[in-house]
Chains A and B, each alone.
Chain A
Amino acid sequence: MPITLEKLSHTYQEGSPFQATALHDINLTIQDGELLALIGHTGSGKSTLAQHLNGLLKPTAGRVLLDGQDINQKDADRRALRFRVGLVFQYPEHQLFEETVRKDIGFGPRNMGLSEQEVEQRVHEAMDKTGLVYDEVGEKSPFELSGGQMRRVALAGVLAMKPDILVLDEPTAGLDPRARDFLLSDIARLHREGTTVVMISHSMDDVARLATRVAVLEKGRLVMEGPPGDIFTQVDRLTAMGLDVPQASKLRHELEAEGIVLPPCYLLDDLADHLAHRLKGGAADAT
């Protein structure tokens, strides 16, 4: 069920003195089963784009197609769309409100009109997927939990709707390294199990590790798009945009400047292999 953005533009508060164009003429297709990472500088329009994917924002120009159907058509069922495209906002723990974790996660499924039994079933599944233990936290107030746990409750709240496409806006922002690794492995697993994922991130190493495709936004325009191998080897271009690159790309780039040219790579493991290979080869030459 691919999502296609066709010449999508969005202007906030059009016609007022505060109007600001956040997206210009974006063409992008999100394919089934991929993990698309959306990167870009602060204010480049990533969150704005994410909110178009489930119809929370309407394009000021252009269209958003799901299965070839314009999602903003008059007769489109926008609520059904939101259950198919699950959007997890930045700092989603700020939207928790129920008395217990169990009820909060069940909010989405209950809105879908499922029976209490089904809701309960989905809550269990979603908690399993996000590594929350039902018997431990299910009856607790979400406000008693740690930041990392709250983030997972919020993620579970969206997963419980079993969306086909999961859109995550900076899912790891503000988490400690351990909580971050947990969350990322959850996301990787969901992706492996067949969910299409769109992830916004400022951490290039995370993107390098997880993404099957990367799209780069700059000032509301889509400026680069392709597999991580193509994007993260263009170190100079990304740096000029004020973006970071994965550590491996950076190191490889710096070595190149020193005259040590290694095959293109962007993952630390690959870089280590290349280096080891070269060192061994070098040692062989010396003897």
Chain B
Amino acid sequence: MLRDITLGQYYPIDSPVHRLDPRIKILLTMAFIVCVFLVGSPLGYLPIAAYLAWATWMARLPAKMMLRSMRPLRILLIFTFVLNLFFGTGDTELLRLGFIRVTQEGLYNAIHFSLRLIFLVIGSSLLTLTTPPVTLTDGLESLVSPLKVIKFPAHEMAMMMTIALRFIPTLAEEADKIMKAQSARGADFTSGSLKQRAQALIPLLVPLFVSAFRRAGDLAMAMESRCYRGGEGRTRLHVLKTGRKDWLAVASIAVLYAVVLLMARYV
């Protein structure tokens, strides 16, 4: 139930992509996103698609997983396609139905922008599917830590994100349990008018808040009793390391850039 949505997207297997340095992976994903925007025509997405297929294969992810990551966006995707198709500018008319007209440029744009959206989503889910959320925040912390010189609280931000991420599944599990316990007393969360449903949430929300505050208090106590005082001078258990495979990954994206840019110019 609630548990399904909470573990994030992370797909827990071992692969060369899973083992990449998270910092490199974040940067590569950003580079990939930029690269998708450099593509000038639908045909230019071929190398992008090939690259993603290769990365998915390297990450040992089932193609099904990748397609599933598209699901939340299907409405947006349909919108993008339909809007571009029916309300595009241009003169070469292909079809006319009353006030709706489909032009060649419209069709071209519809395909172009939909493909762009698809590849952006798949590219970024490759990051979230192969990196546990906590590792991701570690990587982010390390990437933004140069900003500490201008007093940007990099460590605190990362710690907050880590704790939030850590507690999402816990709280979701708790919510699931409380919901079940109240259903056992005949609470009904799924039917009734909007007002009734909002009221039905009280027996869920009150215990959930009580428990969240209790947990927050316990956690603060546990951290303090282990002498936590912020990031200053704190060493890490898992030190992020950049190795040969990371540079290979960087090289692969450089190749992708070369191909995409060449195609944009000559095809």
Residues in chain A within 8 A of chain B (CB atoms): 13, 16-18, 51, 54, 56, 79, 82-83, 86-89, 92, 94-97, 107-108, 111-112, 143, 157-158, 161
Q: Which residues of B contact A96 (CB under 8 A)?
A: 207
User: Residue-by-residue, is B160-175 near A (CB-CB < 8 Å gives 1, otherwise 0)?
Assistant: 0000000000000000
- B183 within 8 Å of A by Cβ? yes
Q: Is the CB of A82 within 8 A of B181?
A: no
Chain B interface helix/strand/loop/mixed: helix
Task: Specify which chain A residues have a CB less than 8 angstroms from the CB of B11 in the assembled complex.
Answer: 17
Complex: chain B residue closest to A16, CB-CB: B4
Which residues of A are found within 8 Å of B185, using beta-carbon distances?
A: 82, 107-108, 111, 157-158, 161
Q: A13-B3, A18-B7, A95-B207 are in contact. Are A89 and B188 (CB under 8 A)?
A: no
Kindly count the residue-residue contacts between A and B in the assembled complex, taking CB atoms under 8 Å apart. Answer: 63
Q: Is B24 an interface residue (CB 8 A)?
A: no
In whole Å, how far is A54's beta carbon from the nearest beta carbon of chain B? Answer: 6
B180 pairs with A161, CB closer than 8 A: no
Query: A107 touching B203 by the CB < 8 A rule?
Result: yes
Given known A-B contacts A13-B3, A13-B4, A95 and B181 have beta carbons under 8 A apart: yes
- Say whether A97 contacts B184, CB under 8 Å: no
Residues of A within 8 A of B202 (CB): 97
Determine whether B182 belongs to the interface, using a CB cutoff of 8 Å to chain A: yes
Residues of B within 8 A of A82 (CB): 183-186
A215 smallest CB distance to B (angstroms): 21
Distance in angstroms from B11 CB to nearest chain A CB is 6
Residues of B within 8 A of A (CB): 3-4, 7, 11-13, 177-178, 180-188, 202-203, 206-207, 210-211
Closest-CB distance, B47 to chain A (whole angstroms): 30
Contact A89 B181 (CB under 8 A): yes
**Are B188's CB and A97's CB within 8 A?**
no
The residues of B that contact A112 with a CB separation of less than 8 Å are 186
B186, A108: Cβ atoms closer than 8 Å = yes
**Contact partner of A94 among B7, B203, B211, CB < 8 A?**
B211
> Is the pair B186, A83 in contact by a Cβ cutoff of 8 Å?
yes
A-B contacts, 26 of them at CB < 8 A, read A16-B4, A17-B12, A56-B184, A82-B183, A82-B185, A82-B186, A86-B184, A88-B184, A89-B177, A89-B181, A92-B181, A94-B178, A94-B211, A95-B178, A95-B203, A95-B207, A97-B206, A107-B182, A107-B187, A108-B185, A108-B186, A111-B186, A111-B187, A112-B186, A161-B185, A161-B186
